[in-house]
Amino acid sequence: MNLRFVETFLWIVRLGSFSAAAEKLNTTQASISNRIATLERELGVQLFDRDMRTVKLTPVGQQAVSKAEEIVKAVGEFREAIADPTSLKGSVSIGTIDSIVHSFLPRLVERVQDRYPGIAIDLNVDTSLNMAREIIERKIDLALIMGPALDHGLVNIDLGTYRCVWVASPKYGLAGKQLTLADLASYPLLAFSKGSVPHHGLLQQFREAGIEAPTISNSNSLATIMRLAKDGLGVAPLPRVILGEYVDAGALEILDVTPAFHPLTFHAVYADHPDSLLPSIIAQMAAEVSLCMADA
């Protein structure tokens, strides 16, 4: 029995259609249909009832799911335990966000490359909202985001909490002063993209302080926010861990603001199914790397 055909069967079950499985596996719908037809002939049973619009498991197909998952999981665990990691080939798709790119992602990629030199990383950087949607829809293998992502069949691994601080260019002359949100409201503010957790947190802090929400310029790029803040175009709340070279060089100053900005909590998220062994291992690597840098 061809293991690839068993894996194809499981992807159709998870994604709900032959076409979605074909897209996930980078092949044609005809190839997917042929694999299932071959598997059904070998087993002497029909796994799916299918018509022009829907694909539904037969009673026998429903029974086959758990057994197929056991097979794929066992093969994955055997490969991970026995095979030389340097001999493994393939790719893993990772969706992440700017905060992680500018903090621990380089160390994580280095660790993955050292252990699995034959595994290519397909990296996509976007907002946490979009990356959560991608992992829920199983379009990526692993999401490193401000989480968690709550959906059936997803595993969330805690990557720690990162302290945030308010920063500004020295041109404002704000360092060393005791500041409140009311003081900051009179300056241009730079913040994370609209709809994000930190953006909502910022608006909430102003509401709780009884201050009318100021004008906030938003970006999903931390590099952009840091550059604008460095050039004196606004005051910004940012994760402390990414600010080292800017603060050391005197390009940005950390401000004493009460209340402090909410810390950011990150998670690694992957689907809990048998062929997620490599994403689960990389998620654990991410936790090890990140927790060394996160604030307790």
Digit-by-digit pLDDT tens for the chain (296 residues) are: 788 888 888 888 888 888 888 888 888 989 999 999 999 999 999 999 877 667 889 999 999 988 888 887 787 777 666 666 677 778 899 999 988 998 999 999 999 999 889 889 999 999 898 999 999 988 899 999 997 888 888 899 999 989 999 999 999 999 999 999 999 999 999 998 888 888 888 999 999 999 987 889 999 888 899 999 999 999 999 999 889 889 999 999 999 999 999 999 999 999 877 667 789 889 989 999 988 776 54
Structure tokens at 38: 């071959």
> What class is the 3-82 domain?
mainly alpha
CA 97 from centroid of its chain's CA atoms = 7
Q: Where are the beta strands (DSSP E) in the chain?
A: 48-50, 55-57, 90-96, 119-125, 142-146, 154-162, 164-168, 178-180, 189-191, 216-218, 236-239, 253-254, 256-258, 264-271
- Cα→Cα distances 212→16, 165, 166, 187, 204, Å: 47, 21, 19, 13, 11
Q: What gap in Å lies between CA 215 and CA 29, rounded to an integer?
A: 50
Q: What gap in Å lies between CA 294 and CA 296, rounded to an integer?
A: 6
pLDDT of residue 143: 96
Smallest Cα–Cα separation from 266: which of 232, 236, 231, 241?
241
> Does the fold of domain 164-262 match that of domain 85-157+265-291?
yes
Q: Write down the domain spans for the chain.
A: 3-82, 85-157+265-291, 164-262
For the segment(s) 85-157+265-291, the CATH number from 3.40.50.970, 3.40.190.10, 3.90.550.10, 3.40.50.720 is 3.40.190.10
The helix (H) or strand (E) run that includes residue 220 is none
For domain 164-262, give the fold. Answer: D-Maltodextrin-Binding Protein; domain 2 (3.40.190)
pLDDT of residue 296: 41
Running DSSP on this structure, what letter comes out for residue 27?
Answer: S
pLDDT of residue 251: 95
pLDDT of residue 252: 96
Structure tokens at 256: 């004493």
Running DSSP on this structure, what letter comes out for residue 149?
Answer: -
Please enumerate in sequence order all residues whose Cβ is within 8 A of that of 59, keeping only pairs 6 or more positions apart, or say none.
none
Smallest Cα–Cα separation from 141: which of 151, 152, 154, 130?
154
Please enumerate in sequence order all residues whose Cβ is within 8 A of that of 49, keeping only pairs 6 or more positions apart, or say none.
55, 56, 57, 58
- What does pTM read for this prediction? 0.72
Structure tokens at 104: 């621990």
Parallel, antiparallel, or unpaired for β 178-180 and 154-162?
unpaired
| Angle value at C-alpha 289, between 284 and 292, nearest 5 degrees | 125
